[in-house]
Structure 1
């Protein structure tokens, strides 16, 4: 094939023809237990790296390099495919590592023995994110390795557990120069509804501690007058929300969400909220989980209920995770929360509050040529009007790319969906979503190339 852009019918026909091989690629990759967590054996991760390189070579890629930094078990793959002279450059990112399978007993089939049925593949990593590797390979094969844009594939092996690789884009920005950066580590809000992710909440850790006595004291002898540190801390933490579950901390940004979102019933199902238990907070669901703040107590020092102690606690500590509006600096939000907690003084007790690690979110631009090209690509691939959504969690590499190349448009879409059980048991990929993602990627390249020609 030539690098001339293909029409809609030709892309769709090629993707349909390539689909069985793409499914096989997902299965081949997902058989590998490529976990990058500390203490995991390096062999499977390196095997996954080699398999991805083999797929790139099969697709016709000849220029394949790697980035290997101290502290990394497996390299980040950097592969280049030249397009026509003067064509825009697209950086395509995803990762080949996975989270552990967890309890095998919760799976309907062995997690690293992918099961293919008529409409899906079930196995660890099939959606997050080995389907996106297969989709990129498939889209490249649609064009016979002669795409209408210049392509740089950046495929990481440490995304799930973080690594020093996140530090590389800001330190070496020229490596990531592109007109558009596609982060294929997300998916549609629900199957069949094309969705572009435009926001990622930031995150900051806040530690709060109450110290009241020189040492723990017998609750029978001292309880009632001696200040119990755990009680004081619980009272302070309870003051963060009103009776409806809304945060009352001043200075935390929240706005209505106007894009696609889940219904309350969908959210209850996805969150496995028990019958009779209400959702917390007021206002639209999107502003509660995407364009507004949330505080979660992620650690609390206390004796377990299996080993209670009859003692007034001399100290107590909690660790809070604050999720932040995509456009609010995370450190700023953390300081707002810390200021509020310091001002509570439960029972007159001053709290020690420290703001810890912070990572900013991002709110992508939505008016540029790459975003419009992505909208059209998803529209054609799914035959429906694309929507926009955000993620309550963060993807640190997106912020790293943004720091390295602030002018490049950040485009987030991929082959997963809101029901894929990502990171959970019975993770699954819908084969139709994979096929449409291949079409979308190939069409996006064509549509973006057309913006330079015009």
Structure 2
């Protein structure tokens, strides 16, 4: 990392043309390497075999070593919280900056979501399959394509200028982002010196569409938890006591319904909104991208993108209760649900959690016992767009895609970014990505648009080439 704070950037790089040729020429081998990564079922959730995540980390480490640009490549783990339990393996590869050049951290993650049911996929989830202009498979977009975007951009830079360049690098490929990045903060602290950077490229976000790039400048935070509602010491016959005894399902339904108003907007006192400008986005576009059924209306108020980017949302993502097939005429004594709260930029997750807790306590029906556990928090994120690296990233995107980038908000969360901000407060954080609105990350038939992939690699490679050419002038 440099010790300067004033940067003078070249308008173009002498390596631009060679980088373009290298990205185009190596795309088939890049897709082949991506396919090999997708075949490794690196699900980081506790119920899945951690050997696959280890194998994925080793494969990424081999790709990093084979670039020939790093002085050190390691597969490392860090403890989870205050425990001795280790998180999933991550890859850390480093190269020192020379001659006053900046250091760039390249972040992505090699773990993936569970595939779900095979029958919901049109092809096997861990067998990458090209159909049309997309490659399908779990992790093909989120986020093994992010991993390969970093590797491919480094290959292109090396092909253009050789491997004796001056840019400093810290490649950090995490292994448990899909399981809450539980050891992330400890990993940063343990490897802070190796990871210190002037700019951080987080390749784990979306683009506006298949033809228009985006730089993510706002992310909602999250509060996720298990809510357990109890009304009875034991189950009782619904015919004998129904109508006089409130069962837990009734209490849960009544309590959950207080989260929203009649328009479907969040109605929890203390959850705030962010006042941000949003691009035009029609209901027709929402229907096409989200799969909204005919006759089903969108919820909320305000512009559609403000509802997704700038307002809180609450979703019940799971219910533990008797299944329909096993249902008996019984009053349920207890019901548990999984609740996901998205927190608008400008509010901390801790404050949002407190607001939710107050709401649940105040609205518990029939005197039901309400308990929260399995709690995860992640703060929202807003980018300062005035920095030099942001400007250079947007210019590289425009040159690679032939279209000016959109400044994008994301309704989802990347909670670990708050950890990056805390550990590296002077670094500019650039949230980029290889996904598009039809990638279906986390869903069956996840896919990567190959044109988006190629342009995203080129944009990053151009940015790295220009940062490598950058001269630094120490401030007075």
TM-score (norm 1): 0.89
CA distance in 2, matches of 1:292, 1:38: 32
Which stretch has the larger CA shift, 94-103 or 114-123?
114-123
Tell me: CA distance 1:49–1:317, structure 2 relative to 1, closer, same or farther (3 Å). Answer: closer
SS of the counterpart of 1:187?
A: coil
Determine which of 88, 94, 100 is the counterpart of 2:108.
94
Q: Hey, what does 2:6 align to over in structure 1?
A: none
Offset at 1:258? 2.1
Separation of aligned partners in 2, 1:408 and 1:245: 38
Q: 1:232 to 1:427 in 2, by over 3 A?
A: closer
Check if 1:247 corresponds to 2:266. Answer: yes
Q: Which residue number corresponds to residue 238 of structure 1?
A: 257
Residues 224 and 339, structure 2, Cα contact 8 Å, conserved in 1:
yes
Equivalent residues of 1:198, 1:366 under 8 A apart: yes
In 2, the alpha carbon distance for the partners of 1:23 and 1:212 equals 55
Of the structure 1 ranges 224-233 and 376-385, higher mean CA displacement relative to structure 2 is found in 224-233
1:436 and 1:33 mapped to 2: Cα distance? 27
| Secondary structure of 2:26 counterpart | helix
Tell me if 1:325 matches 2:344: yes
For 1:26-41, list aligned pairs within 5 A.
26-41=34-49
Residue of structure 2 equivalent to 1:405: 424
Name structure 2 gaps, 5 residues minimum.
1-11, 80-84
- Output one character per residue of 1:45-97: Cα deviation in whole Å (capped at 9) or x when no partner: 33333332332233213423322335457632211234441111100011222
Match of 1:270 in 2: 289
Give the number of aligned pairs.
450
Residue equivalent to 1:352? 370
Per-residue deviation, 1:245? 0.9
Tell me which residue corresponds to 2:8. Answer: none
Deviation at 1:345, TM superposition (A): 5.2
The question of 1:444 aligning with 2:476 is answered: no
Residues in 1 aligned to 2:14 and 2:226: alpha-carbon distance in whole angstroms = 55
Aligned partner of 2:33 among 16, 25, 34: 25
Q: Quote the residue 2:324 is aligned against.
A: 305
Task: Tell me the SS of whatever aligns to 1:417.
Answer: coil
Equivalent position to 2:171, from 150, 153, 176: 153
Q: Is it true that 1:284 corresponds to 2:293 in the alignment? A: no
What's 1:65 paired with? 73
Which of 190, 208, 232 is the aligned partner of 2:209? Answer: 190
Q: How does 1:5-16 map to 2 (within 5 A)?
A: 5-16=13-24
| Length-normalised TM-score, structure 2 | 0.85
CA–CA distance in 2 between the matches of 1:59 and 1:343? 58
Structure 1 residues 16, 146: CA separation in 2 closer, same or farther (over 3 Å shift)?
farther
Moved more, 98-107 or 182-191: 98-107
Between 64-73 and 11-20, the greater mean CA deviation after superposition: 64-73
Contact 1:140/1:146 (<8 A) preserved: no
Alpha-carbon shift at residue 153 of structure 1 (Å): 0.6
Structure 1 moving runs of 4+ over 6 Å: none
Contact 2:65 2:73 in 1 (8 A): no
C-alpha change, 1:124 and 1:340, in structure 2 (3 Å) is closer
Runs of 5+ unmatched residues, structure 1? none
- Residue 366 of structure 1 is matched in structure 2 by 385
